[in-house]
Structure 1
Amino acid sequence: MIPGKFNSREVKRMMAQMGIKSNEMTDVKKVILYGDTKNYVIENAAVTMIEAQGQKSFQIVGNIKEAPKSAGEVKQEEISPYNNEDIKLVMDQTGVGREKAIEALKGADGEPAQAILNLLSK
């Protein structure tokens, strides 16, 4: 072996000794990074997740394209910590809009049934 050069098996062994785990994510085909002014789409993506000291990082290799943000995309303020199915359920059962449904879920500690009851009792 040439000094300073490692084969992949040796690198994996050394990483394991240092507590670094590497995992190929073979089922990922496309990665989309959402930016403020444009999005980045990485197609034919090869993704490796690396875990060290409790932190996960990702190495992504593929064909990248820049895409302008479309007017119909979800704005950052519309993103909610609540499950989209729960939000939709509250909206469908009560006839309120998305923002009201999210507020109701917040007031019901994320419980859709309680959020529905609270909205219907008003």
Structure 2
Amino acid sequence: MFGGGGMNPRKMQQMMKQMGIDVDDIDAERVVITTEDGEELVFEAPQVTKMNAQGTETYQIVGEPTVRDADAAAVTDASEDTDDGSSDEATAAIPDEDIQIVATRAGVSKDEAREALAAAGGDLAAAIASLE
């Protein structure tokens, strides 16, 4: 857009400020986008940048999303909120895609990944970190 392929980042920031564009990094843990067709794109530990150009805010998300069914996500989120010892329900509600991601990234079995996800309340990053 600006043709600043090899431009000094400091110079680029000065130019953007002169044009009335403010850029801020946001320390996000998770970003969830729900689509019209009932899917959710879940970004764990993404890089999020907020750009304000003359009153219009734009957000940029950088990361690799996992795709899950929004209805299954609602069940998972609801079971995460219960604190009545119903870990069997929470474990059953964890999407197979999440289990596969944790197992692959941490190099463990699916059962170990499922247990780590249940212990982490479905948080992929926390489950992976606990297994590494």
TM bin, normalised by shorter chain, reads 0.5 to 0.7
Q: 1:47 — aligned with what?
A: 48
Larger radius of gyration: 1
Q: 1:30 — aligned with what?
A: 30
Q: Aligned equivalents of 1:62 and 1:7: distance in 2? A: 25
Matches within 5 A, 1:72-83: 73=74
Q: Aligned equivalents of 1:53 and 1:35: distance in 2? A: 28
Q: 2:96 — aligned with what?
A: none
Kept after mapping to 2: 8 A contact 1:22/1:48: yes
Task: Identify if the C-alpha distance between structure 1 residues 4 and 57 changes in structure 2 by more than 3 Å, giving closer, same or farther.
Answer: closer
Kept after mapping to 2: 8 A contact 1:46/1:61: yes
Report the secondary structure of 2:10's partner residue: helix
Residue 72 of structure 1: CA displacement? 7.5
Q: Aligned equivalents of 1:34 and 1:56: distance in 2? A: 20
Q: Which has the higher helix share?
A: 2
Q: 2:19 — aligned with what?
A: 18
**Unmatched 5+ residue regions in structure 1?**
74-122
Runs of 4+ in 1 over 4 A off after TM superposition: none
RMSD after superposition: 2.2
**Unmatched 5+ residue regions in structure 2?**
75-132
Number of residue pairs matched?
71
